[in-house]
């Protein structure tokens, strides 16, 4: 009967398509990279593939936590190279998901500028290669802003009602409030955190946008007049409008690093080491930084960086020791952070 034939044909198509896409055939030379889309520039990937003949499978995640959930689930397998943020690398380490780098396979490792190493998530420099270090800064439009901006506290100024934009990141926003009270980003003192929460409620009228994406766009387009931006966003904002002013918050700087590591059961760890070696080359490091707009952690790249680029990155090495990482805190503190953030958001309406 005709219908039976149709069903049979349908099943054949379904099965064969799924098998085709699922099967890998003979073992090709490949490396599975896992990070945000376009974070590793296309020309870097192409350059690597051409030079080594190893294919790069570039998978994406949206948040660090999704990455860790997947990595836990695969018990450190499936992925060869993960590029993620500092605090999640620390947790991954505690969960036993990192594998030690074989530096003999990465001769270019010595190109790394040591001021970007030895941090809390990899204090002995055994597991990671820094990729994108940065310091978030305040940027404002002097034509629209009448008050003086010197630090986080300035964001509370009443003249900035409905004009401020910050990234929608709980620990960053709570952290700013903590800093204005003289506390550390990572205090586990529940009273201090609660006080910061109360202070945050006063900030609410000034917030126009809690952004998920490119906060600097809103500053450049005139939707907001003051923004708290990540390093790459600072550079892009200044590129679009050189008249914008940058402020180093006097209460204390934050600092963050996105870094690469090889998971404990990576299927192609040799190829992963080869990739790390490739991106640590001088010229490649320069290609990366001029496209990601973060600080360049590669000493050997400095000579390759174009001059205008060096100027647009307003942060220098001396600022680094000043910066405080936002780190994971106790379960209780973490839960309180979410509570005050939820209350803050409720006040925004």
Stretch that binds another protein, among 64-72, 99-107, 242-250, 278-286 (CB under 8 A): 64-72
Q: Which residues have a Cβ under 8 Å from the Cβ of 136 and sit 6 or more positions away? A: 167, 172, 228, 229, 230, 231, 253, 254, 256
Q: Which is nearer to another protein, 22 or 242 (CB)?
A: 22
- Write down the least CB distance from residue 338 to another protein, Å: 4
Site for another protein in 321-340 (CB under 8 A): 328, 330-331, 334-335, 337-339
Three-state secondary structure of 294-333? CCCCEHHHHHHCCHHHHHHCCCCHHHHHHCEECCCCCHHH
Q: Which residues have a Cβ under 8 Å from the Cβ of 242 and sit 6 or more positions away? A: none
DSSP-H helix ranges across the chain: 2-22, 42-52, 64-73, 86-94, 170-180, 190-203, 215-221, 231-240, 269-279, 282-292, 307-312, 331-347
Closest by CA to 345, choosing from 215, 200, 164, is 200
Does residue 9 bind another protein (CB under 8 A)? no
Q: Which is nearer to another protein, 39 or 109 (CB)?
A: 39
| Paired tokens of 320 | 């680094």
Q: What are phi and psi of 32, to 5 degrees?
A: -100, 110
Does residue 34 bind another protein (CB under 8 A)? yes
- Write down the least CB distance from residue 56 to another protein, Å: 8
Q: Which is nearer to another protein, 103 or 345 (CB)?
A: 345
Site for another protein in 179-238 (CB under 8 A): 207-214, 217, 220-223, 232, 236
The residue within the footprint of another protein, chosen from 8, 9, 12, 37 (CB under 8 A), is: 37
Site for another protein in 236-255 (CB under 8 A): 236, 240
Q: CA 154, 209, 322, 305: dihedral to nearest 10 degrees? A: -120
Q: Which is nearer to another protein, 91 or 145 (CB)?
A: 91
- Write down the least CB distance from residue 313 to another protein, Å: 16
- Write down the least CB distance from residue 235 to another protein, Å: 12
**Do the strands 254-263 and 128-134 form a parallel or antiparallel pair, or are they unpaired?**
antiparallel
Q: How much of the chain is in helix, strand and coil states, percent to nearest 5?
A: 50, 15, 35
- Write down the least CB distance from residue 52 to another protein, Å: 17
| Total chain residues near another protein (CB under 8 A) | 71
Q: Which is nearer to another protein, 108 or 275 (CB)?
A: 275
- Write down the least CB distance from residue 21 to another protein, Å: 4
Does residue 73 bind another protein (CB under 8 A)? yes
Q: Which residues have a Cβ under 8 Å from the Cβ of 299 and sit 6 or more positions away? A: 111, 112, 113
Site for another protein in 86-145 (CB under 8 A): 91, 94-95
Does residue 72 bind another protein (CB under 8 A)? yes
Does residue 288 bind another protein (CB under 8 A)? no
**CA atoms within 13 A of residue 154's CA, in its CB half-sphere:** 20
Question: What 3-state class would DSSP assign to 346?
Answer: helix
The residue within the footprint of another protein, chosen from 9, 10, 190, 283 (CB under 8 A), is: 10
Q: Which is nearer to another protein, 245 or 339 (CB)?
A: 339
Stretch that binds another protein, among 99-107, 123-131, 164-172, 183-191 (CB under 8 A): 164-172
DSSP-H helix ranges across 54-205: 64-73, 86-94, 170-180, 190-203
- Write down the least CB distance from residue 130 to another protein, Å: 17
The residue within the footprint of another protein, chosen from 8, 12, 29, 60 (CB under 8 A), is: 60
Using CA atoms, how far apart are residues 255 and 86, in angstroms rounded to an integer?
10
Q: Which is nearer to another protein, 117 or 241 (CB)?
A: 241
């Amino acid at each position: 009967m005709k219908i039976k034939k149709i069903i049979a044909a349908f099943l054949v198509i379904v099965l064969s398509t799924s098998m085709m896409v699922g099967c890998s055939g003979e073992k090709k030379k490949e490396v599975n990279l896992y990070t945000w889309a376009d974070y590793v520039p296309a020309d870097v990937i192409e350059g690597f593939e051409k030079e080594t003949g190893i294919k790069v499978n570039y998978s994406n995640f949206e948040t660090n936590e999704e990455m860790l959930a997947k990595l836990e689930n695969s018990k450190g397998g499936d992925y060869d190279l993960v590029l993620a943020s500092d605090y999640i690398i620390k947790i991954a380490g505690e969960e036993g998901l990192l594998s030690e780098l074989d530096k003999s396979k990465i001769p270019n490792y010595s190109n790394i500028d040591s001021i970007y190493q030895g941090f809390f998530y990899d204090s002995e420099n055994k597991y990671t290669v820094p990729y994108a270090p940065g310091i978030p800064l305040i940027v404002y439009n002097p034509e629209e802003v009448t008050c003086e901006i010197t630090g986080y506290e300035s964001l509370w100024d009443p003249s900035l009602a409905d004009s401020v934009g910050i990234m929608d990141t709980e620990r960053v926003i709570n952290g700013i409030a903590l800093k204005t009270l003289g506390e550390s980003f990572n205090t586990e003192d529940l009273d201090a955190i609660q006080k910061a929460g109360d202070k945050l409620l006063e900030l609410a009228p000034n917030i126009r946008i809690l952004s998920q994406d490119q906060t600097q766009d809103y500053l450049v387009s005139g939707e907001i007049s003051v923004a708290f931006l990540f390093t790459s966003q600072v550079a892009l904002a200044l590129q679009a409008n050189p008249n914008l002013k940058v402020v180093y918050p006097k209460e204390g700087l934050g600092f963050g690093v996105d870094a690469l590591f090889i998971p404990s059961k990576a299927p192609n760890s040799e190829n992963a080491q080869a990739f790390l070696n490739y991106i640590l080359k001088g010229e490649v490091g320069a290609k990366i930084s001029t496209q990601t707009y973060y600080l360049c952690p590669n000493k050997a790249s400095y000579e390759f960086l174009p001059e205008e680029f060096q100027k647009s990155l307003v942060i220098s090495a001396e600022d680094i020791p000043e910066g405080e990482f936002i780190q994971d805190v106790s379960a209780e503190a973490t839960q309180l952070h979410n509570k005050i953030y939820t209350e803050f958001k409720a006040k925004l309406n």
